Chain A
Amino acid sequence: MIDPALITNNLIDGVLMGLLYSLVALGLSLVFGLMDIINFAHGDFVMIAAYTTWVIAMMLYVDPSVTAIITVPLFFVIGLAIYKIIIEPILGAEPLIQIAVTVGLGYVLQNLALAYFRAGPRSFPAPWFNYSIQIGPIGIAVSKLIAAAVSLASLFIINYMLVNTKFGLAVRATSANREVAPLMGINVRKVFAITFGLGIALTALGAALYMMWGQTNPYLGQSFSLLSWVIVAMGGLGGVMGVLYSGLIVGVLEALGSTFVSPSARLAVVYLAFFFILWFRPRGLFGRR
Chain B
Amino acid sequence: MANTHMLELEKVEAGYGQFRVLHGVDMHVDKGEIVALVGPNGAGKTTTLRTILGMTTLYSGDIRYQGRSITKLPTHKRVELGITMVPEGRGLFNYLTVYENLLAGAYTKEAWEKKEETLEWVFQLFPRLKERKNQIAGTLSGGEAQMLAIGRALMSRPKILLMDEPSLGLAPIIVLEVFEIVKKLRDEGVTILLVEQHVKHSLEISDRAYVMEMGRIVMQGPAKELLQSEELKKAYLAL
Contact = CB atoms under 8 A, between A and B. Distances in A.
Interface of A: 166, 169-170, 172-173, 176-177, 179-188, 288-289
Contacts of B107: 166, 169-170, 173, 184-186
Given A169-B103, A183-B153, A185-B108, A176 B79 contact: no
Contacts of A169: 100, 103-104, 107
A12 B175 CA distance: 60
A182 B76 contact: yes
B75 A182 contact: yes
22 contacts: A170-B107, A172-B93, A173-B93, A173-B96, A173-B107, A176-B93, A177-B93, A180-B91, A181-B104, A182-B53, A182-B55, A183-B53, A183-B85, A183-B153, A184-B76, A184-B79, A184-B104, A184-B107, A185-B76, A185-B107, A187-B76, A289-B94
B92 interface: yes
Nearest to B156: A185
- Which one of B74, B93, B100, B112 has the highest number of Cβ atoms from chain A below 10 Å of its Cβ? B93
A185 B93 contact: no
Contacts of B74: 182, 187
B144 interface: no
A263 B112 CA distance: 54
B146 interface: no
A185 B103 contact: no
Contacts of B91: 177, 179-180, 183
Given A166-B112, A170-B107, A186 B76 contact: yes
Nearest to B101: A173
B159 to A, nearest CB: 13
Contact of A176 (B53, B94, B105, B106): B94
B84 interface: yes
Contacts of B103: 169
A180 B162 CA distance: 13
A250 to B, nearest CB: 25
B79 A182 contact: yes
Contacts of B55: 179, 182
Nearest to B110: A185
B95 interface: yes
Contacts of B87: 179-180, 183
Contacts of A289: 94-95
Contacts of B105: 184
Contacts of A183: 53, 75, 79, 84-85, 87, 91, 153
Interface string B140-179: 0000000000001100100000000000000000000000
A215 to B, nearest CB: 41
Contacts of B80: 185
A288 B93 CA distance: 13
B14 interface: no
B102 to A, nearest CB: 10
A166 B103 CA distance: 9
B76 A173 contact: no
B92 A185 contact: no
Contacts of A181: 104
B194 interface: no
Given A185-B80, A186-B107, 13 more contacts: A166-B107, A169-B100, A170-B104, A176-B94, A177-B94, A183-B53, A183-B79, A183-B84, A184-B76, A184-B105, A187-B74, A187-B76, A288-B95
A182 B52 CA distance: 13
B212 interface: no
B111 interface: yes
Interface string B59-92: 0000000000000001110011000110100011
A242 to B, nearest CB: 13
A105 B112 CA distance: 39
B96 A172 contact: yes
Instruction: Pick the 7 closest A-B CB pairs, nearest first.
Output: A185-B108, A180-B91, A182-B75, A176-B93, A185-B79, A173-B104, A184-B107
Nearest to B91: A180
Nearest to A289: B95
A182 B79 CA distance: 8
A176 B111 contact: no
B152 to A, nearest CB: 8
A169 B152 CA distance: 14
Contacts of A177: 91-94
Contacts of A179: 55, 87, 91
A172 to B, nearest CB: 6
A176 B112 contact: no
Contacts of A185: 76, 79-80, 84, 107-108, 111, 156
A176 B112 CA distance: 20
A181 B93 CA distance: 9
